[in-house]
Copies of this chain bind each other. A is one copy, B any other.
Amino acid sequence: MAKPIMQRLQAQGVRLTDQRRTIAAVLDEADDHPDVEELHARANARDARISLATVYRTVKLFEETGILDRLEFGDGRARFEDSQRAHHDHLIDMDTGEVIEFVDPDIEALQDKIARRLGYRLEGHRLELLGRKIKD
């Protein structure tokens, strides 16, 4: 399991405010890919003193601190997930928009090989498969 975000913030010497604590807790409990508006809604349910602007600033801070990964599923909004969750890629159901997570070691290895072949050290990647459910 990933360490609580609060601990990681503390370790990095980030100033701990009520807002950040609340947002960190929301993120710790999330097992999906919320966008900023969704995070704001969840955080506000716990503490109404959290503005949208703060969520934006916090999410950017967390991303810069390496705590969050920013995802883009092509709907115009940024989505976020804990960077210490086990690595995975996404398969998006083109009919429902549902997001399925998966991991495949072969793909990971292959990507590394390709980058190296092109003269690059792989620092990250985004892989989204788009598909439709096979009816049986």
A interface list, Cβ under 8 A from B: 70, 72, 74, 91, 93-94, 100, 102, 104, 106-107, 110-111, 114-116, 118-134
Contacts and interface: CB of A to CB of B under 8 A. Distances in A.
A53 to B, nearest CB: 18
B118 A91 contact: yes
Q: How many copies does the complex hold?
A: 2
A100 to B, nearest CB: 6
Given A102-B114, A114-B102, A114-B107, A129 B134 contact: no
Contacts of A128: 125-127
Given A104-B110, A107-B110, A125 B130 contact: yes
A35 to B, nearest CB: 15
